[in-house]
Structure 1
Amino acid sequence: MFASVIVDIPSKSVNQVFDYRIPDGMEGLIRVGHRVLVPFGRRTIQGYVMKLRDTTDFDPARIKEIARTLDIEPVLTEEMITIARHLADYYVDQYISVIETILPAALKANYRKVLKLAEGHTAEAAAALEEVAGDAETEPKRLEAGALKALAPYLKSGDIIEETVIRQHTKKKTALAVYSLKQQGEDLSRAKKQQELLAVIDASSEPIFVRDLVNDGFSNHLINALHKKGHIGKVEREVERDPYSGRVFTSDPPKVLNAEQQHAYGRITEALDAEQAKTFLLHGITGSGKTEVYLQVIQKVLEEGRTAIMLVPEIALTPQMVNRFKRRFGDDVAVLHSGLSHGEKYDEWRKIKEGRARVSVGARSSIFAPFENVGAIIVDEEHETTYKQGDRPMYHAIEVAKFRSRYHNCPLILGTATPSLETYARSEKGVYERLELTERAGTKVLPEISVVDMSEEHRTGNTSIISKPLEAAIQTRIERGEQTVLLLNRRGYSNFQICQSCGHVPMCPNCDISLTYHKSNRSLLCHYCGYEGPVHRTCDNCQSEDVTFRGTGTEKVEEILRDMFDADVVRMDNDTTRRKGMHEKLLDHFEQEEIPILLGTQMIAKGLDYPKVTLVGVLNADTMLNLPDFRANEKTYQLLTQVSGRAGRHELTGEVIFQTYNPTHYAIQLAKENDYRRFYEKEMAFRRLARYSPYYFHVLFTVSSEDVRKCLKATSHIHDTLIQKVSDQSIIVGPSPSPLERINRQYRFQILLKYKREPELLEMLNSLDEHYHEAYRTEGISLRIDVDPLVIM
């Protein structure tokens, strides 16, 4: 019998299955989805069994055998193998890259080359290796030149060989435990404390962790004494890494649904009962109770013995969503997101794989949760661009969700207050069923929204980033003991440093972008490549001392707010949330300590639900309006509407203030009026005229190289290929420099293809990908093909 295996080599030249013979005695043990070790060339590497076959198309005598299997149960299901093939084909990527995206990073192979003695080695070789390494494994790359030279004769003779050791990236965590031997050891009649400890161990039906016994007051000395006297045994026992261990979640019973919620629930559960792969757009204004509908749909799914997947767009949203799900479903919930360690994510993944969890909550990658018999898939805030992966494989989680919905014949629910134009257009055409929630749950009303023209503020002498109306509103909330959320989508202290004598602005040496000043560490940072440089008191260009900082980021606004209101401020941005668990700690601090002001970037705009937040201020509503991207207006409307929904979600009424230099722009005015329908119609007219999505599909080609001439040559070649291969109905935009022409020393040029139907497109994309895969190896030219891009920058 033979197995078709994908090998762990991320190269286009081996992006195919290879046949291996299943050794005698392993037939029936190796199944589709197993990880295996296979010989490949002169090395042994990890691979994944994609298919089992009775015959092979190649000469059976020349086919190598599988060395061994790495698992008892397969890590990949048939469904995940099918998804891997689909994503690799659709997004023009390698199978192994998609498989490693589907599986937790813990399962990725860790390869190490070590030196060891061959069979029949000489005593001299053994002595030479022992002198270099002692008892430890010897890695050639860690040896100094002299040591390698001493071993060279034995490597040449074959007495010492180089072997690749393959280990799993992260292992199961274990800790020492003890158990009763249930037999008579040495007499304990005079050792009362040891008798007490033995009684505790005897009473347990399974081994007890030593650390738990120590925490209960028994010393290691006592435990060792019992072991020495023959009363107990020691064993390593697995410890499950639970990111929520020690947390107590109070029960949260289902709430009574209003008429609109009940209608939405009814339509979804009809599809659930009919085992129908139907997609619903749950279009509900902020605070309309979409989450309660999700929870009750999942409750029904669980009652029917099925499983459910819940996606949220941001790690910052996960803590509150996890709290709600844990309170409703307890230990049935597993959490999967990038904020967990490899070990924690691996253990949560195993809970799902082994059937110990029936609901997953997490960000984009949790769409690959290894559930069987999925009953519902829910994508909250479906419009968010974070559901599209920014590096290879550039899959969209909603496309995977649609695939899994069809595979399991279950409903897919896309929930949002501000649907993407593509999703809403599909609901208009009846491809998706739209369910509307037009009122806030209970008796709560939408907050009152006002717009402040910052140009007018400046004309009246106020040059602060805080307008007078917003300042008065914040002061009122502080006096009432209420809370304020402020949004500024720009981190750092100041946007840039400038010399007022010659106009020189320090730029990143690797990117075409000015450096941002961060006061906390007195440095100039690039937010693209991570370059960090010192702040100079004099201009690097003319040596003038007349240097200053311009623009305002969250770090500076935090300082302004503390001075202006003499109040505590919680700041949430990439700088303050970099360390693990900081999202949750900062939000808990804001809620539990009743800090008056929460200031943050767009990570605070969605999903937060605090009863005392009655004021939301958007310090610069124009941040996204001027981006060179056709979705700039849509993103602005979505961000403003989402952050507005944080105010007045409970008993207290809310207020929202937008600060802007474009008070008449339709994205801002229609966000103020909370009129999605009018925004949709206006924006769709622009998309139709400019021939953008959803009227056309897109593929974005981005070529990058350290040599700008190579970029120009490559984009010309791609442009010529497109002209020859695509129909006259398609539109080719470019080649042109990317809006940010150079990042991390790489020049970037792009071409945008707009098309409606191109039957040979996939074949052409694969051909270009193969060509530039080789060009990257030989000339350093990289081609990134983004199918259905969400960002054209």
Structure 2
Amino acid sequence: MIANVVVDIPSKNVDKIFDYKIPPDIEEIVKVGVRVEVPFGSRKIQGFVINISEQLSSDIDMSKVKSIIRVKDFKPELTPELIKLSEWMANFHLVKRISALEIMLPSAVKAKYQKIYQVNDPENLPAHILNRFNKEGILTFDQAQQSEIVTDLEGYVKSGQLVKDTIVGQQLTKKYATCIRIMPTDRLDEIIESLHKKEKQLDILNYLIEHRNEDVLLKTLKEEGFSNSSINTLVKNQVLEKYNSVVARDPYENRIFEKEHNKSLTNDQQHAFTQINEAVQGNESTTFLLHGVTGSGKTEIYLQTIENVLEKGEQAIILVPEIALTPQMVNRFKARFGDEVAVLHSGLSKGEKYDEWQKIRDGKASVSVGARSSIFAPFEKLGLIIIDEEHESTYKQEDYPRYHAREIAIWRSEYHQCPVVLGSATPSLETFARAEKNVYQYLELPERVNKQKMPEIELIDMREELKEGNRSMFSEQLKQAIQERIDKNEQVVLFLNRRGHSSFVLCRDCGHVPQCPNCDISLTYHKTHDDLKCHYCGYSEPMPQLCPSCESEHIRQMGVGTQQVEEQIYSTFEQAKVIRMDVDTTSRKGAHEKLLTAFGEQEANILLGTQMIAKGLDFENITLVGVLNADTMLNLPDFRSSEKTFQLLTQVAGRAGRHKKKGEVMIQTYNPEHYAILDVTKNDYLSFYQKEMKFRQIGKYPPYYYLVNLTISHFDKTKVLKAAKHAHDILIQHVSSKSFILGPSPSPLSRINNQHRFQILIKFKSEPDLLTALQYLDDYYHEQYVKDKLSLEIDINPQMMM
């Protein structure tokens, strides 16, 4: 038998299928989807079996075909569907097959390679060398380097006393726990009889007999009320024995979720539920757009539809855009479905994520809740895929391999013949346009579930505040509204989409602004460590006391970030208690949930944060939302800047007045006439959509045209220019006159990490030969990258233009 294997080398040169013989002794366990260790040249590497056949896939001589060394999995890590999906991704997204396969797996199962020296002839090795090796006769190359004996060892390799090898391991560490079991015996009846007067010991024995087919944790026995002394006595008398067993890590093991039952649906909810459920029952690969205002009960529809999916014996995936949204979503799903739910997001440790993923693979979980990468959850009977807040750009992977979760979801829905639900209060223009053309089925929830009115939204012109001499971050109206909420013991959400203390530092005498030496961007001031940081390459330097250019003392922090706003809140409002949520405060594991729980338990009356607080939060005591500067995204060099501004402001405004208390929203802006901001105040998505679509049509942007963005980067600007011209010339030959090629031109961020960056933007409607040209460029510049680190990034349907 022959195994077709994709090897774990992320290189274009070996981005193909290799044939390996399957030794007869492991034929039973080599299955499609398992990882295997194979010889490749002079080394051993990991590979994925993607097919098994009786014939070779090429004309190579059978005598030259090598054999698989060993199998690394008892069960396949990948399903046949995911292997097929990786082939589609490799072609559509121009990614290497191994990169597509590896992104589907949790990082804990990725291969870890170690070069080693192994003892071959121990009798002829000097004792001082032999003592360096472990019991198995192995010494790692790293250990040899640290001991500075590599040269000596190489001599013993040449003479045959040692051999060099590569161990293919993995980064997975297992969690063990102490378990208790009855020692094997044929005298069990006698033992039970002898314990008839020792009730406590007898109870333990009966409990273990009842659970004899499972691992019983020592911890569980103690929780059941059995005493440590009784257990130890039975162990001492050799009736019971302790042993270690691998246990799954459950990030929610210490949490109790109160059972939640179905809520009654409104007429609009019932209509949407019926339409989606019909597609579930009819096995239809329909894509729905569920367009519901904030607070309209989209999550309840998700829950009730998933319940029907589970009753049908199928599984469901629900995606959320950020970790910040996960805690509240997890609470609702765990409360409804309990242990059926597996959670997959980057806030978990490697081990926890692997164990949750394994629950799905082994069929112990039927619902997956998580961020972008959980779209690859290895379910084999998918009945429903839901993408909540579908407009969010975080569903697009911005680094290699680039993919959009929505595209993967639609591919999987066609494979499984199941529906996809795209939910949002502010759908992306591309999605809404497809719904208008009946490519997607449109479902609307125009009202909040409790008939609660949408919050009143007031625009505050900060230009007028400046004229009145108010230079603080708070207008007089917002300041007064915050104080009223504090006095009433109500809660406030304040939104500013800029972290740090100050956005930049400026010398008022000469105008000098400290720049990052590696990137064409100004440094951001962070007060916590009193330093200036670059948010692109991580460079930092101390805050200067004097201007580095003219040595003036008049160097000041300009612009405002969340850190500075927090200080201003405390200096302005005496009774304020602030929880700040941004990248700086949520970097530790579990920080999102901890902060949101604290706010939900009213340990603070003001929640201040960046866009991570704009979506998904549902607290009944929030009656005021303040947007401190609505203009931060409007002026970005991105054709989606107006759309992102409208979406973000609508989402954050929706946090107010979601329950019985009336909500109010105040938006501070220097552009009160801008249509994106005005339409937020009217809560009028359709009006914004129609205006924005006109600009998209004039500018030839999505959804009227597709986009491909090519970014070329290198330390040498001349080489970047030459490569950009070459790429442009190739594209011209393969693209018709109906399409547009813009550039090459400097990227909006023209230098990051000392690499100069130029970009080429292609706008097209249908170009059959374009993929061929892009494939050629991808192959050609892969060679250039290997030789000279000249990089070409190809982004199909880009979300970020920076």
TM-score with structure 1 length normalisation? Answer: 0.96
Give the structure 2 partner of residue 671 of structure 1.
680
Give how far 1:133 is off: 3.6
Q: Which of residues 311, 325, 338 is equivalent to 1:317?
A: 325
Give how far 1:637 is off: 0.5
Give the structure 2 partner of residue 254 of structure 1.
262
Task: Go from structure 1 to structure 2 and tell me whether the alpha carbon gap of 1:298 and 1:745 turns closer, same or farther (over 3 Å shift).
Answer: same
Given the alignment of the two structures, is residue 489 of structure 1 paired with residue 497 of structure 2, yes or no? yes
Partner Cα distance (1:188, 1:305) in 2: 43
Q: How does 1:285-296 map to 2 (within 5 A)?
A: 285-296=293-304
Give the structure 1 partner of residue 386 of structure 2.
378
Give how far 1:132 is off: 2.8
Instruction: Tell me which amino acid in the other structure corresponds to 2:324.
Output: A
Give the structure 1 partner of residue 585 of structure 2.
576
Indicate the SS of the match to 2:323: coil
Given the alignment of the two structures, is residue 704 of structure 1 paired with residue 713 of structure 2, yes or no? yes
Give how far 1:427 is off: 0.6
Partner Cα distance (1:434, 1:190) in 2: 72
Partner Cα distance (2:202, 2:750) in 1: 71
CA contact (8 A) 2:345 2:370 kept: yes
Instruction: Tell me which amino acid in the other structure corresponds to 1:46.
Output: Q
Q: How does 1:625-774 map to 2 (within 5 A)?
A: 625-774=634-783
Given the alignment of the two structures, is residue 425 of structure 1 paired with residue 425 of structure 2, yes or no? no
Deviations 1:267-317 (CA, angstroms, capped at 9, x unpaired): 111111211110110011111111111111111111111111111111100
71-80 or 417-426, which moves further after superposition? 71-80
Indicate the SS of the match to 1:316: helix
CA contact (8 A) 1:175 1:236 kept: yes
Give how far 1:74 is off: 1.1
Q: Which of residues 596, 604, 612 is equivalent to 1:603?
A: 612
Give the structure 2 partner of residue 107 of structure 1.
109
CA contact (8 A) 2:200 2:226 kept: no
Partner Cα distance (2:754, 2:220) in 1: 54
175-184 or 666-675, which moves further after superposition? 175-184
CA contact (8 A) 1:178 1:233 kept: yes
Partner Cα distance (1:631, 1:502) in 2: 35
Q: How does 1:46-445 map to 2 (within 5 A)?
A: 46-56=46-56, 57=58, 58-118=60-120, 121-125=121-125, 127-133=127-133, 135=135, 137-143=138-144, 144=146, 146-181=148-183, 196=200, 199-200=203-204, 203-204=207-208, 205-206=211-212, 207-211=215-219, 226-445=234-453
Give how far 1:152 is off: 2.9
CA contact (8 A) 1:609 1:646 kept: yes
Give how far 1:171 is off: 3.6
CA contact (8 A) 1:132 1:147 kept: no
Instruction: Tell me which amino acid in the other structure corresponds to 1:741.
Output: S
21-30 or 768-777, which moves further after superposition? 21-30
Partner Cα distance (1:790, 1:126) in 2: 62
Task: Go from structure 1 to structure 2 and tell me whether the alpha carbon gap of 1:464 and 1:192 turns closer, same or farther (over 3 Å shift).
Answer: farther
Partner Cα distance (1:766, 1:683) in 2: 33
Partner Cα distance (2:230, 2:535) in 1: 56
Indicate the SS of the match to 1:48: strand
Task: Go from structure 1 to structure 2 and tell me whether the alpha carbon gap of 1:22 and 1:274 turns closer, same or farther (over 3 Å shift).
Answer: same
Q: Which structure 2 residue ranges, 5 or more long, are not aligned?
A: none
Give the structure 1 partner of residue 572 of structure 2.
564
Give the structure 1 partner of residue 552 of structure 2.
544
Instruction: Tell me which amino acid in the other structure corresponds to 1:89.
Output: N
Deviations 1:139-174 (CA, angstroms, capped at 9, x unpaired): 122324742233232111121011211212114322
Give how far 1:32 is off: 1.1
CA contact (8 A) 1:616 1:656 kept: yes
CA contact (8 A) 1:570 1:597 kept: yes
CA contact (8 A) 2:707 2:764 kept: yes
Give the structure 2 partner of residue 31 of structure 1.
31
Partner Cα distance (1:441, 1:291) in 2: 11
CA contact (8 A) 1:201 1:208 kept: no
CA contact (8 A) 1:93 1:393 kept: yes
Task: Go from structure 1 to structure 2 and tell me whether the alpha carbon gap of 1:220 and 1:713 turns closer, same or farther (over 3 Å shift).
Answer: farther
Instruction: Tell me which amino acid in the other structure corresponds to 1:628.
Output: P
Deviations 1:645-703 (CA, angstroms, capped at 9, x unpaired): 00000000100011000000000001111111111111111111110111111110001
Given the alignment of the two structures, is residue 41 of structure 1 paired with residue 50 of structure 2, yes or no? no
138-147 or 445-454, which moves further after superposition? 138-147
254-263 or 133-142, which moves further after superposition? 133-142
Give the structure 1 partner of residue 13 of structure 2.
13
Give how far 1:614 is off: 0.7
Partner Cα distance (2:517, 2:138) in 1: 42
Partner Cα distance (1:620, 1:285) in 2: 23
Partner Cα distance (2:446, 2:148) in 1: 76
Deviations 1:43-72 (CA, angstroms, capped at 9, x unpaired): 111101111111113211110111111112
CA contact (8 A) 2:459 2:668 kept: yes
Indicate the SS of the match to 1:508: coil
Task: Go from structure 1 to structure 2 and tell me whether the alpha carbon gap of 1:765 and 1:591 turns closer, same or farther (over 3 Å shift).
Answer: same
Give how far 1:418 is off: 0.5
Q: Which of residues 765, 776, 797 is equivalent to 1:788?
A: 797
142-151 or 561-570, which moves further after superposition? 142-151
Indicate the SS of the match to 2:25: coil
Partner Cα distance (1:710, 1:202) in 2: 77
Partner Cα distance (1:126, 1:238) in 2: 40
Task: Go from structure 1 to structure 2 and tell me whether the alpha carbon gap of 1:363 and 1:156 turns closer, same or farther (over 3 Å shift).
Answer: same
627-636 or 145-154, which moves further after superposition? 145-154
Instruction: Tell me which amino acid in the other structure corresponds to 2:456.
Output: E
Task: Go from structure 1 to structure 2 and tell me whether the alpha carbon gap of 1:671 and 1:152 turns closer, same or farther (over 3 Å shift).
Answer: same
Instruction: Tell me which amino acid in the other structure corresponds to 1:751.
Output: I
Task: Go from structure 1 to structure 2 and tell me whether the alpha carbon gap of 1:152 and 1:739 turns closer, same or farther (over 3 Å shift).
Answer: same
Give how far 1:544 is off: 2.1
Task: Go from structure 1 to structure 2 and tell me whether the alpha carbon gap of 1:191 and 1:539 turns closer, same or farther (over 3 Å shift).
Answer: farther
CA contact (8 A) 2:196 2:202 kept: no
Partner Cα distance (1:459, 1:652) in 2: 35
Task: Go from structure 1 to structure 2 and tell me whether the alpha carbon gap of 1:494 and 1:201 turns closer, same or farther (over 3 Å shift).
Answer: farther
Give how far 1:190 is off: 14
Q: Which structure 1 residue ranges, 5 or more long, are not aligned?
A: none
Give how far 1:216 is off: 8.1
Task: Go from structure 1 to structure 2 and tell me whether the alpha carbon gap of 1:165 and 1:220 turns closer, same or farther (over 3 Å shift).
Answer: farther
Indicate the SS of the match to 1:254: coil
Indicate the SS of the match to 1:700: strand
Indicate the SS of the match to 1:25: helix
Give how far 1:625 is off: 0.3
Partner Cα distance (2:167, 2:280) in 1: 48
Indicate the SS of the match to 1:476: helix
> Percent identical across equivalent pairs?
53
Partner Cα distance (1:232, 1:514) in 2: 67
Task: Go from structure 1 to structure 2 and tell me whether the alpha carbon gap of 1:402 and 1:187 turns closer, same or farther (over 3 Å shift).
Answer: closer
Instruction: Tell me which amino acid in the other structure corresponds to 2:652.
Output: V
Instruction: Tell me which amino acid in the other structure corresponds to 2:141.
Output: P
Partner Cα distance (1:470, 1:634) in 2: 25
